[in-house]
Chains A and B, each alone.
Chain A
Amino acid sequence: MKIEVCEVNKSFKQQQVLNQISLTIEGGRIFCLLGASGSGKTTLLRIMMGAIPADGGSVTVGGIAVPNRQLLAEMGYMPQNEALYEELSAWENLKFFAGLQRQSRKTFAADAEALLQIVDMAACKNKLIRDCSGGMKKRISLAVALIHKPKLLVLDEPTVGVDPVLRRKIWLYLRQLRNEGTTIVVTTHVMDEVTQCDDAALLRNGHIIARDTVKNLIAQTPDGNIEELFFIDNQSEAEAPLC
């Protein structure tokens, strides 16, 4: 699903978080939104899904303007914090969100089982969330976002707190989903994860300062270190964020 963001503005209490953002995300690719914390990544994601309204500009997903309820059925969203029900088990959380997505009850058990295998949580699917560690919650949260096989996957810092072995496994699965046609948008401030993505955009002080394929972006840097991207645009040093 192609996402088109057109001249989007957003301010919170006088502070401009997003400034005339225009961005096109091609369908069937893994797109990475890079930026320091507080740079407006999450705000942009939420505007793209229609969770919050933009002050100006427009967003369309697959040609449909957000917010749209049919569109929400094709989206899977994983928020930055876990957003799970503490008193329910992993399995019950999955079941609840599958129910909201009107997943058929027949296929649910098999789907949920398969997903929990991928995030390595099958053994403790009946554990209550309040007894889970931070990393476990993160994995269950990812499984919840995937339960209805969305065509567009929006992941806000999906692998924070996940160990390297499992992180690799998750990226492998995300690329597999991409190959099946799913569009994936992730945010991160972990630079080495960018290399796992197809395209990337750099967000800084409410502006997009670079947007290209990850290969091209790396080619622009002097030593192939993606962190250098943040130093490309020297002029923006002047407009440090106001707090």
Chain B
Amino acid sequence: MLSIVKRILGQMKNDKRSLGLLLFAPLLVLTLLFFILSDSSYVPKLAVNDMSEKFVAELENHATVSEETEKPEAADYLEANGIDALIWNDSEGTHIELLEKNSKSAAALEAIQDTNKALQPTKNELIIDYVYESSGDNQLDSLSFVFLGVISFFFVFILSGMSFVRERFGQTLERMLMTPIRRIDVIGGYTLGYGLLAAVQSVVIILYAVYVLQLQVEGSVALCTLVMILMAFSAVSVGALVSIFANNELQLVQFIPVIIIPQIFFSGLIPIDTIPFGLGNLCYLTPIYYGCTALEMIMIQGKGVVEIWPWLAGSVAFIGVLFLANVTALKKYRRL
């Protein structure tokens, strides 16, 4: 078993580019996400027609306002002028015309609401409080657990799946099995070897996310790391298992959408109990669910081991089941 672990580390040492991709590609993707999801402080562009001067004056504090003396009738007015919203009054009341639902129209609506609030402050204003609230405005903070989990799972899955396919294709697997090694040692060595690499990757990702990107972690960073490492180990096992059903590298790549995308749905991006037909229960079959839920509880809700142990246990059980499945599947190549 130790021979296999050493060999895997040796292979990685001699293949610097793979190692670099494993360690730094996730950081690159995370950094990109950080900038994409960060607060862009966008100032919406609004056009008004026949609104009170007081309203327009207040609105100018929240947005760039242009006044139209006549109500524009052209259907492509918003698009053609790069305006996010058009506001006008008639007998029915105040109208707001928006182009489509997106973050720009959301910003326009927010500016209008802020204006209304400033003009008519009421005593019984709605006060909204979140139980779990991150202090930053960055959307990455509230979704960090999804991205941390999915990104590290993805890279490790590809690495272990690919190397197993190559091992079968290059017949080194057969050669390895023509020695007195036990099947359990082959899978054990594989899981441990790639698991170690994956664990290093997890540590690098989490440290980068917390100390460089300054992501909010309410609970313990060490516990996060543990969850990430467990998830990485399950990714190694899933990769090895899937590789059995792939006859070549291309087929393994084709498996990625089948294996990874459904897991993203169950990672906490969509609340699981809103999924119809009980399909949400499928989450128990996806290793990312256990990892991401645990990460969410630690990072957003600040929970500790006492609260998250069922998900940790789920992760460990998953790794165990996959391990046995892989050992059994290896029988295809040697009956002993």
Q: Report which A residues bind B (CB closer than 8 A).
A: 49-51, 53, 67-70, 72-73, 75, 77, 79, 81-89, 92, 96-97, 99-102, 128, 144
Contact = CB atoms under 8 A, between A and B. Distances in A.
B74 interface: no
A212 B264 CA distance: 64
B7 A96 contact: yes
B334 A67 contact: yes
B178 A84 contact: no
A77 B174 CA distance: 10
A88 B7 contact: yes
Contacts of B103: none
A72 B10 contact: no
Given A69-B180, A79-B174, A99-B2, 20 more contacts: A51-B333, A72-B180, A75-B178, A77-B178, A79-B171, A81-B170, A82-B170, A83-B175, A84-B170, A84-B172, A87-B10, A87-B12, A88-B7, A88-B10, A89-B14, A96-B6, A99-B3, A99-B6, A100-B3, A100-B180
A99 to B, nearest CB: 3
A42 B21 CA distance: 39
Nearest to B166: A86
Contact of A69 (B4, B12, B336): B336
Interface string B278-299: 0000000000000000000000
Interface residues of B, number: 26
Interface of B: 2-4, 6-7, 10-12, 14-15, 170-172, 174-182, 333-336
A72 B2 CA distance: 19
Nearest to A84: B172
A75 B180 CA distance: 9
A188 B221 CA distance: 61
B175 A96 contact: no
A14 to B, nearest CB: 20
Closest 8 CB pairs of A and B: A99-B3, A87-B11, A100-B179, A73-B180, A83-B171, A83-B175, A77-B178, A87-B14
